[in-house]
A = this chain, B = another copy of it.
Amino acid sequence: MRTMMPTLLVAWVGMMGIAMADTHKFIPQNGVATYAVRPPVLRVKPGDIVESPTMAKPGDYYEKEGGPWPGEVGPFFIEGATPDDTLVIRILKVQLNRDTAVSFVRPAGLSALATDGRLRLLNDPLPTRRFVWQLDRQRNVGTLDLPNSRSKRIEIPLRPMVGRVAVAPAGEEAFGGLWPGAFGGNMDVPDIREGATIFLPVYHEGALFYFGDIHAAQGDGEVCGSGLETTAVVTMQFELVKGKKIVWPRIEDADHVMVAGSGRPLIDAFRIAHVELIEWLVADYGFDKMDAYQIVSQAGTARVANVVDPLYTVVAKFPKALLPKERK
């Protein structure tokens, strides 16, 4: 399960003669509303690269107030994936392909800082607001006019991320696009971006991979319920770790190993992420459990990814620089 540079890996897969990796330029026709078992829209082999835009439709959410969510892309069937395996997705590139991003505040919308459908109080709800950000893809910044504020305008750095990466959940359940969970889904993790590798459990033959929901930028917790919601062309490479099972999504980038735990209340998402991170350090890096608990306590960091979705997501992180070079 060592991270390798994708090009090397492709070469290696080729040398091993397992199968020649392909690059698929995929154009999704219809977005889907749930993470579930359904017929695949694309079949890929381990090692294959897929380049695909996220879903968009004329008149959708990205284009006008009240427009519907266009749905997720997928599922992709990864050949050879079985419930004994772990699916690996390398995010090779995330290229924004639109000049605007939208963000919402709605009375019954998701919110961490106001009443919503899951936090019901007697207070009056907040009013509706739709913010339209301009994306300058050359300078990699987003700007928003703020006519009611003294400074009139803000400009923030862009850091595109993929809000949703999922496999079909265990059993016969079908979770709507807003749900995160052990199967991945709408985790809204800013670390799932260009250069990151995602590991997801596999519950069904072919894994049945879904993705979507680009945020050009997003603060921790996504507190108003939406990031800079936009679209992009995403380039991903798929791999399998055969015979390895994980319980919650894992992420690696240049600096950290990470676990994304989802749950409510927030502390339970925090606990899931950290306990599974500790179990990872024990299983793959040879730490005693109490030792792993101690070093995560002293050198671990945590990110609150979302506190607005049906389950909240917390990412527990540990610096790779502090880990032994050799994994089991």
Contact = CB atoms under 8 A, between A and B. Distances in A.
A256 interface: no
Interface in A213-263: 217-228, 261, 263
Given A122-B114, A270-B266, A223 B296 contact: yes
A298 B124 contact: no
B218 A298 contact: yes
Given A123-B125, A172-B33, A149 B287 contact: yes
Interface stretch (A44-52, A194-202, A271-279): A271-279
Interface of A: 33-34, 36, 103, 105, 112-115, 118-127, 129, 131, 133, 142, 144, 146, 148-151, 154-156, 171-176, 217-228, 261, 263-268, 270-272, 274-276, 278, 285-304, 307, 312, 314, 322, 324
Nearest to A311: B264
Number of copies: 4
Contacts of A289: 122
Most B Cβ at <10 Å: residue of A103, A223, A228, A268: A223
A155 B126 CA distance: 36
Given A171-B176, A270-B307, A217 B298 contact: yes
Contact of A114 (B121, B131, B266, B272): B121
A123 B295 CA distance: 17
A297 B109 CA distance: 14
Most B Cβ at <10 Å: residue of A105, A221, A268, A294: A294
Given A221-B302, A227-B297, 13 more contacts: A112-B267, A120-B271, A120-B275, A123-B124, A124-B124, A146-B295, A148-B288, A148-B291, A217-B298, A222-B297, A225-B297, A263-B264, A265-B267
A223 B295 contact: no
Nearest to A148: B288
A276 B122 CA distance: 10
B151 A287 contact: yes
A274 B172 CA distance: 33
Contacts of A127: 290
Contacts of A218: 297-298
30 contacts: A33-B171, A34-B171, A36-B174, A103-B297, A113-B271, A115-B121, A121-B121, A121-B271, A122-B275, A122-B278, A123-B123, A123-B125, A133-B298, A142-B298, A144-B295, A146-B291, A149-B292, A156-B295, A156-B298, A156-B322, A171-B176, A173-B174, A223-B274, A223-B293, A223-B300, A224-B294, A224-B297, A225-B297, A265-B265, A302-B304
